[in-house]
């Protein structure tokens, strides 16, 4: 048997494998996030209790590290070197974190407090931009909790609605809903909630939403507020009849982003109205040629958002962008897959949005909102990172930046973080960029 030539020994040096978390701690410090959180969330009634910032910043550190369960707080609590580095003298335990989620989640002003903190992150990312594009979508969170309900996908869980700002990819608002809630429920109210959640002076200029938003009151609201929209239209008898009456000469080739014809894709447009609202809008109809057995088309297939007929799949988009070309509208609508659906995946997979820690609905709703704060903070940090790191997801940033081994040395009043030369150079670049960042005033 070959034995590797080593001996185990002990050291009293303060060592950490998470020195790179100094970056996110520096950004929170630059934003004065502790003060902002304590100004927005209810303070403890006892002087001995933890302030709200202690709980929320603990969650943020955990989620950036990749820990999504309450018991995982011990990874940071047991890391004496990291706590010395970040000046975390006292940290709440797992039981305290759960109790705080349940207590604060049950209060009526939780969403308002979250909005106040989140507006700072949005304003910091938008800089001086005022008009934004809003993408909203519902997302299933599968969870085996006592109050979980069956979703339309036949899983037990929840169905939160999330609104994203396309310009920065950040979460504008989220509405944590039971699993049996319809994706089309109260969507106008949620759009209005997103508008109210924007920083002062910002407004929704454009809206993109799937067929859950194909409602007369949403289209009417967009017309009243002069919001440009692209909404996936549900197939109706009038749309089916219009498609059946079209000849091949009525269809135009669809163009890709380079202006070249796409084989098997065609478009046409018409003017359409939706029930209960008489003002007409533009309807862009896209057809895609189906291959294989679909060409037999023995029976028309209707999926609600589209129909299969005559060897083609037909889908429609309702819009008020009358001056845009058909292909440009379709490409613009399809961008919501990047700006909303993929961002929701990051929120759930990279920041624990799909790992709910409690059996209490309101507590889980608060945890989901804190996950959104963590994600928004990460999206802001990506704007400030060096080019070599700026386009990566959190899973990459964790091993390239956060997971740096270091020795923490305290001499007199000075604290030193000793790293390998390459790591020291990279972390110094990141910290210099974060220190130059100037947040909006409190």
In tens, the pLDDT along 276-325 reads 788 999 999 999 998 865 444 434 444 467 788 888 899 999 999 999 99
Average pLDDT, the chain: 91
Where does residue 169 fall: left (phi above 0), alpha (psi -120 to 50 degrees), or beta otherwise? left
Phi and psi at residue 124, to the nearest 5°: -65, -35
181-225 pLDDT per residue, tens: 988 889 999 999 999 999 999 999 999 999 999 999 999 999 999
* Average pLDDT for 239-259: 91
- From residue 188, alpha-carbon distances to 198, 251, 305, 331 in Å are 16, 33, 19, 24
* CB of 405 closer than 8 Å to CB of 417: no
pLDDT in the model for residue 290:
87
pLDDT in the model for residue 442:
64
Q: Return the minimum-mean-pLDDT range out of 116-125, 365-374, 406-415.
A: 406-415
pLDDT in the model for residue 296:
43
pLDDT in the model for residue 248:
87
pLDDT more than 90, % of the chain:
77
Residue 438's pLDDT band (cuts 50, 70, 90): confident
Residue 4 makes CB contacts below 8 A (sequence gap 6+) with: none
> Is residue 339 pLDDT above 90, yes or no?
no
Tokens of 241: 């009849």
> Is residue 369 pLDDT above 50, yes or no?
yes
> Is residue 414 pLDDT above 50, yes or no?
yes
Residue 401's pLDDT band (cuts 50, 70, 90): very high
> Is residue 117 pLDDT above 50, yes or no?
yes
* Average pLDDT for 127-135: 93
pLDDT in the model for residue 298:
39
Residue bearing the bigger pLDDT, 416 or 340:
416
> Is residue 156 pLDDT above 80, yes or no?
yes
Most confident of 247-256, 300-309, 337-346: 247-256
* Average pLDDT for 252-279: 91
Residue 19 makes CB contacts below 8 A (sequence gap 6+) with: 82, 85, 404, 405, 406, 408, 417, 419, 423, 427
Q: Which residue's entry shows tokens 């804190």?
A: 370
* CB of 221 closer than 8 Å to CB of 209: no
> Is residue 270 pLDDT above 60, yes or no?
yes
Residue 371 makes CB contacts below 8 A (sequence gap 6+) with: 63, 347, 351, 352, 353
pLDDT in the model for residue 441:
75
User: pTM of the full predicted structure?
Assistant: 0.93
pLDDT in the model for residue 292:
62
SS (H, E, C) the chain: CCCCCCCCCCCCCEEECCHHHHHHHHHHHHCCHHHHHHHHCCCCCCCCCCCHHHHHHHHHHHHHHCCCCHHHHHHHHCCHHHHHHHCCCCCCCHHHHHHHHHHHHCCCCHHHHHHHHHHHHHHHHHCCCCEEEEEEEECCEECCCCCCEECCCCCEEECCEEEEECCCCCEEEEECCECCCCCCCCHHHHHHHHHHCCCCCCEEEEEEECHHHCCHHHHHHHHHHCCEEEEEECCCHHHHHHHHHCCHHHCEEEECCCCCEEEEEEEEEEEEEECCEEEEEEEEEEEEECCHHHHHCCCCEECCCEEEECCEEEEEEEECCCCCCHHHHHHHHHCHHHHHHHHHHHHHHHCCCCCCCCCCHHHHHHHHHHHHHHHHHHHHHHHHCCCCCCCCCHHHHHHHHHCCCEEEEEECCEEEEECCHHHHHHHHHHHHHHHHCCCCCC
54-92 pLDDT per residue, tens: 999 999 999 999 999 999 999 999 999 999 999 998 899
Cβ-defined contacts of 423-432 (< 8 Å, 24+): 423/19, 426/386, 426/401, 427/19, 427/20, 427/22, 427/23, 427/401, 429/386, 430/23, 430/385, 430/386, 430/389, 430/401, 431/22, 431/23, 431/26
36-46 pLDDT per residue, tens: 999 999 999 88
* Average pLDDT for 262-288: 92
* CB of 118 closer than 8 Å to CB of 373: yes
């Amino acid at each position: 048997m070959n034995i590797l030539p080593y001996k185990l020994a002990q050291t009293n040096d303060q060592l950490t494998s998470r020195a790179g978390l100094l970056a996110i701690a520096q950004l929170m410090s630059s934003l004065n996030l502790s003060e902002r959180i304590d100004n927005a969330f209810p303070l403890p009634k006892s002087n001995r209790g933890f302030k709200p910032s202690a709980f929320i910043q603990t969650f943020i550190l955990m989620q950036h590290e990749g820990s999504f369960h309450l018991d995982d707080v011990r990874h940071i609590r047991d890391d004496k070197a990291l706590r010395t580095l970040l000046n975390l003298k006292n940290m709440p335990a797992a039981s305290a974190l759960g109790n705080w989620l349940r207590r604060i989640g049950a209060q009526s002003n939780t969403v308002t407090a979250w909005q106040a903190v989140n507006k700072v992150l949005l304003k910091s990312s938008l800089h001086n931009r005022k008009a934004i594009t809003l993408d909203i979508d519902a997302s299933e969170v599968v969870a085996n909790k006592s109050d979980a309900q069956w979703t339309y996908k036949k899983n037990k869980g929840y169905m939160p609605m999330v609104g994203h700002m396309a310009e920065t990819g950040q979460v504008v608002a989220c509405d944590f809903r039971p699993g049996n809630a319809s994706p089309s429920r109260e969507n106008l109210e949620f759009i209005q909630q997103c508008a109210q959640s924007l920083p002062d002076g910002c407004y929704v200029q454009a809206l993109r939403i799937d067929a859950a938003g194909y409602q007369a009151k949403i289209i009417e609201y967009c017309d009243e507020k002069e919001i440009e929209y692209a909404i996936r239209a549900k197939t109706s008898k009038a749309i089916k009849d219009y498609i059946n009456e079209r000849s091949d000469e009525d269809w135009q080739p669809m163009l890709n982003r380079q202006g070249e014809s796409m084989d098997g894709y065609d478009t046409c447009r018409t003017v359409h109205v939706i029930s209960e609202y008489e003002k007409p809008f533009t309807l862009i109809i896209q057809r895609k040629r189906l291959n294989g057995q679909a060409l037999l088309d023995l029976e028309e297939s209707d999926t609600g958002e589209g129909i299969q007929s005559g060897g083609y799949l037909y889908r429609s988009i309702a819009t008020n962008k009358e001056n845009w070309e058909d292909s440009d509208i379709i490409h613009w609508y399809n961008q919501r897959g990047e700006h909303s659906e993929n961002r929701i995946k990051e929120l759930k997979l990279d920041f624990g949005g799909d790992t709910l820690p409690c059996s209490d609905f309101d507590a889980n709703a608060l945890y989901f909102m804190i996950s959104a704060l963590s994600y928004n903070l990460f999206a802001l940090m990506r704007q400030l990172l060096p080019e070599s790191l700026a386009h990566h997801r959190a899973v990459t940033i964790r091993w390239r930046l956060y997971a740096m081994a270091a020795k923490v040395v305290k001499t007199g009043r000075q604290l030193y973080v000793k790293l390998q030369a390459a790591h020291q150079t990279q972390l110094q670049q990141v910290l210099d960029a974060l220190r130059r960042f100037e947040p909006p005033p409190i």
